[in-house]
Amino acid sequence: MKLKYILSLLVTLLFVGCAHTRVVLLDNGKTHNAVIVSNEKGSQKLDGIGKYISLKNKTIAPSKPQQMSEEEISRRFSKVLSIVPKKAISHIVYFEPHSTKLTEASKEELRKSIEDIKISTPCMVDIIGHTDTVGSNEINIKVSLKRAKYIESLIKKEQLNIVSILAKGYGEEDLLVATPDNTDEAKNRNVEIFIK
């Protein structure tokens, strides 16, 4: 959160001192990347990486969004971009219904995630457990945490140089595949492994 604020502030301040200010939307590593820039005279939505608007002063509405090339972004923001942490590596492993037993394909995916941790050390690892919507939310939170803790224990057995490792269970919140209640969806019985 603090880094995003600093990055946004630096991006804006890099253009202060020019005849106007430009606000540029950089990649935040998420699927959805957007910001609304407003002043007294209007607002504009930036909803694509490299989109930018110009602000001359508070009595003139922000300009229409324009696209900045990757080359120009690199040239103008190389110092700022050099301090941004690498994008997280993510893996998803899947489970058999109502259990902490990995599917056969997920055993290989877990091995790949452990290899990525080895390559990325020292690193931080977040492990987020999920369930399908079968059963009560309370039980699903417990099952998802149990799955996350199971994966955490397998990673810890490797005795890798991990700065921090955190396991959380979200139950049926934040589903990979949106389903109604009491739906047995295999893709929702998962654990996400984020390596940062």
pLDDT of residue 7: 45
pLDDT of residue 3: 46
Domains identified in the chain and CATH numbers: 2-82 (no CATH), 89-195 (3.30.1330.60)
pLDDT of residue 32: 73
pLDDT of residue 89: 93
Residues of the chain with pLDDT under 70: 1-19, 29-31
In sequence order, what DSSP letters do the residues of 46-114 get, joined into one string?
Answer: E-STTEEEEE--TTSPPPPPEE--HHHHHHHHHHHHHTSPPPPEEEEEEB-TTSSPBPHHHHHHHHHHH
pLDDT of residue 14: 45
Cβ atoms of 194 and 88 within 8 Å: the answer is yes
**pTM listed for this prediction:** 0.62
pLDDT of residue 59: 87
Do you know the residue count of the chain? 196
Question: Which bin fits 163, alpha (ψ -120 to 50), beta or left (φ > 0)?
Answer: alpha
